[in-house]
């Protein structure tokens, strides 16, 4: 097994943490542990988004770098009389990636292992076997024999359920496999940007933010941005990797390891042209690789942030990632490190005059 360095240890701790929308305490505590030594002040909004403030020039503009703490998962809604658990998805799931997968139910008495099940195909008609199982027909099996036994173990409706997966460094050690890259990688980027700014003169106030409830409607980004009132914002998240079999360049053209993605357009936002130009010019000057992408079927926290108050110039910078919204996703360490480097270099340039020029010209 690969020995984990300081960065990999942080990434493992972040992705191992369990936190679906509305239950982000565990990843928030991990993010706080890693970012607090780089921040002058740490607060939260009233929904639980973590806000780490680092002051360069207290009279300079406010810059928000936001990754979301939550991961897609499930919530227990019912326990049947035989001890099987019915559940609600929390965030977007594709039914084909769910069956027979191990999950963790987080109860007041501790974690319980379960597996997602359905009626076995052996007893289904031939036509039914050809169709994906509907999520509403799935259940979670925890090995209980009755509702009472499940309750004795601490299971209650409303309990959080997360995918179970072990953080893994692949044979190509740049390739990292884990649950919850969406979007603990964004939280890691926010941490490392503040770390990079230690001892640096930056002409602004930087906020590294772990937002809540992104997967159910960009909710924490809205409340955190209302509290911060940023002048400029970056939503950092995962994007689509277009380098697996069957994907054409027309569908998705980004490649893992070829640099962070600059999002031109998504369902939640048309990216701010002035900010986009500043970011790409900075990348070109510093020989930092990047890729362009558009996501007409998705959105990021930038979508909520840019509509805060009377508007915030915002840009989404994402990491090409395979198999998002499943138990295990894969990304490339170079893309993560180049995203940190790029955002750090941009922040060093964002004095009041530059922000005014980006915003109003």
List the catalytic residues.
214
Q: Are 196 and 339 in contact (CB under 8 A)?
A: no
278 burial type by CB count under 10 A (0-12 exposed, 13-18 middle, 19+ buried): buried
Structure tokens at 153: 């173990």
Residue 343: count other Cβ atoms within 10 Å of its Cβ. 26
DSSP, collapsed to helix, strand or coil, labels residue 148 as: helix
3 state DSSP class of 74: strand
CB 74 within 8 A of CB 88: yes
CB 355 within 8 A of CB 272: no
Q: Which residues share a beta bridge with 141?
A: 115
β-bridge partners, 240: 321
Distances (CA, A) of 252 to 137, 242, 331: 32, 5, 15
Q: How many helices (H) and strands (E) does the chain have?
A: 10, 18
What is the bridge-based pairing of β-strands 62-68 and 205-211?
parallel
Closest C-alpha to 14, from 38, 36, 32, 40? 32
Q: How many residues does the chain have?
A: 361
Taking the C-alpha atoms of residue 258 and residue 320, their distance in angstroms, rounded to an integer, is: 9
**How far is it, in rounded angstroms, from Cα 318 to Cα 195?**
19
342: region left, alpha or beta (phi > 0 left; psi from -120 to 50 alpha): alpha
State how far the Cα of 87 lies from the Cα of 297, in Å rounded to an integer: 25
Task: Note whether 190 and 43 are within 8 A (CB).
Answer: no
């Amino acid at each position: 097994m690969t020995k984990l360095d300081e960065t990999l240890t942080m990434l493992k701790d972040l992705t191992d943490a369990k936190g679906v929308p509305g239950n982000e305490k565990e990843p928030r505590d991990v993010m706080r542990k890693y970012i607090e030594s780089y921040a002058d002040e740490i607060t939260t909004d009233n929904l639980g988004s973590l806000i780490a403030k680092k002051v360069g020039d207290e009279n300079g503009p406010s810059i928000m770098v936001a990754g979301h703490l939550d991961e897609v998962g499930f919530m227990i809604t019912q326990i049947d009389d035989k001890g099987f658990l019915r559940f609600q998805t929390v965030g977007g799931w594709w039914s084909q990636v769910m069956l027979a997968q191990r999950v963790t139910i987080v109860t007041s008495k501790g974690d319980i292992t379960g597996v997602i099940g359905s009626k076995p195909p052996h007893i289904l008609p031939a036509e039914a076997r050809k169709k994906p199982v509907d999520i509403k027909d799935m259940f979670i099996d925890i090995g209980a024999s009755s509702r009472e036994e499940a309750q004795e173990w601490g299971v209650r409706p409303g309990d959080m359920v997360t995918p179970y997966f072990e953080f893994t460094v692949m044979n190509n050690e740049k390739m990292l496999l884990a649950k919850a890259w969406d979007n603990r990688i964004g939280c890691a980027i926010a941490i490392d940007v503040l770390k990079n700014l230690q001892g640096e003169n930056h002409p602004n106030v930087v906020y590294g933010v772990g937002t809540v409830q992104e997967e159910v409607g960009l909710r924490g980004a809205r409340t955190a941005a209302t509290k911060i009132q940023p002048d400029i914002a970056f939503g950092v998240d995962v994007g689509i990797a277009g380098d697996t079999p069957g994907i054409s360049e027309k569908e998705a053209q980004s490649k893992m390891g070829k640099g962070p993605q600059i999002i031109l357009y998504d369902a939640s936002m048309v990216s701010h042209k002035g900010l986009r130009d500043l970011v790409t010019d900075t990348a070109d000057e510093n020989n930092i690789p990047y890729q362009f992408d558009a996501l007409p079927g998705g959105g990021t926290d930038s979508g909520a942030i840019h509509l805060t108050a009377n508007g915030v110039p915002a840009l989404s910078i994402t990491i090409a990632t395979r198999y998002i919204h499943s138990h295990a996703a894969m990304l490339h360490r170079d893309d993560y490190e180049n995203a940190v480097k790029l955002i750090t270099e941009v922040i060093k340039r964002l004095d009041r005059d530059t922000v005014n020029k980006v915003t109003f010209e």
